[in-house]
Amino acid sequence: MNRSKSTMPSTFHPLRYWLIGAVAVAILLAGFSLFELGMMRAGYNRLDSFADYQELSDKYADAVAESKRLREKNTVLETAAKIDREAYRQVESRLVDLQTQIQNQAEDLQFYKGIVNANEGTGLRIQDFRISKLTGEHNYNLRVILAQALRSNQKISGQVDVRIEGLRAGEAETLDVSDMLAAEQDSGSLKFGFRYFQDLQANITIPAEFEPERVHIKARLKGQSSKTVEEFFDWTVKPG
């Protein structure tokens, strides 16, 4: 009986591995070369692209630095503008205060001129009346200025009655200032005694629901109950 045997090489020569590797490398190199050639024919250059990338990177870094510089400059400008606005506000506030002071001094000067120039007669007169707002929603200062001619050398005294006319719940009502005086004052603050002029002041608090319209002032000379001087003034609050 004949037996056939297949024979196989027991070893694989190393040269074949080297040849296979060389062929693979050659194929890769050829493929890369063909790719580069195709890119160059299409107008693409790797070195130029790298140079462009580097240029763009530098421009981006410059833009970031410039943006930071502009933000810092903007912060400085905003701070300077804020300081300028605050300085302007303070100057404006100071100017308003100075204007108010000048106006008050002008009014006082006019008042004293009125006393000096009013030489006719020797009797009592109500020279001026002013209302000023105090701290608190319904708190006010009333100022009644009494005078007589400078050539009058006689001292006079008496009492001032001040009443405020207005509306409460739509109904007419009259309030006596002596009933609304602040705690630190009493009705004696409305008494007068002077030779040339006197400035009487009263701090009052009016009821919240009361709407003042005008003020009735009556000055009565002491010892001469029939001798009185009276005037009406609109309820006008002086600003400031």
Q: How far apart are CA 214 and CA 207, in angstroms?
A: 15
Domains of the chain (ranges, CATH numbers): 122-238 (2.60.40)
User: Which pLDDT score is estimated for 55?
Assistant: 80
Pair 175, 166: CB distance under 8 Å: yes
Distance CA 123, CA 221 (A): 10
What was the pLDDT predicted at 117?
A: 60
Question: In which residue ranges of the chain is pLDDT below 50?
Answer: 1, 4, 6, 8
Q: List the one residue out of 146, 164, 169 whose CA is nearest residue 206.
A: 164
In whole angstroms, give the CA distance from residue 232 to residue 130: 12
Reported pTM: 0.54
* Contact (Cβ atoms closer than 8 angstroms) between residue 174 and residue 164: yes
Give the integer Cα–Cα distance in Å for 138 and 171.
19
Closest to 165 measured CA to CA, from 236, 234, 237? 234
The pair of three-digit structure tokens given for residue 141, joined into one six-digit string: 């200062």
What was the pLDDT predicted at 17? 67
